[in-house]
Amino acid sequence: MGRILAIDYGVKRTGLAVTDPLKIIATALETVPTSGLLKYLKVYCQNESVDAFVIGMPKTLSNQDSATAPEVRRFIQTLRTEFPGIPIHEADERFTSTLAQRAMIEGGMKKKDRQVKGNVDKISAVLILQAFMDSTR
């Protein structure tokens, strides 16, 4: 069985999360520079079986595409080209950064660690992935 890999795409950094092989638990994987994201995903998919990608779509409060949505859509097209056999699902990523900050505080993470932006990115990816898994059960 393959994993589901979630992507919280950002201009500079991208947070990644992944399920366990049984698709029960969502876990933070990594935060990678967006410039190296495609290379990272290629290596990851060579080493691990991935059944699907879930990518967070940036939306406004009125459910319209945000200013960064066109860039995310371009990346989705690249994913379709590079990984033609892997389905891609879009997920609403509104409020994930706020929820990630809250989760870090409630989880007792030190302030210094909460200020590392990469931590927010990968926890946001976990939230995107968990919401996707909950919606498909």
Q: Which residues contact 12 (CB under 8 A, 6 or more apart)?
A: 33, 34
Amino acid at 110: K
Q: Residue 58: name the closest of 102, 96, 27 by CA.
A: 96
Rounded CA gap, 122 and 108, in Å?
17
Q: What domains lie within the chain, and their CATH numbers?
A: 3-135 (3.30.420.140)
Predicted TM-score of the model (pTM): 0.84
Whole-number Å distance between alpha carbons of 42 and 98: 30
pLDDT for the residue 100: 57
Note the pLDDT of residue 48.
Answer: 96
Digit-coded pLDDT (tens) for 19-44: 999 999 999 999 999 999 999 999 99
Angstrom distance (rounded) from CA 123 to CA 101:
9
Give the chain's residues under pLDDT 70: 60, 94-119
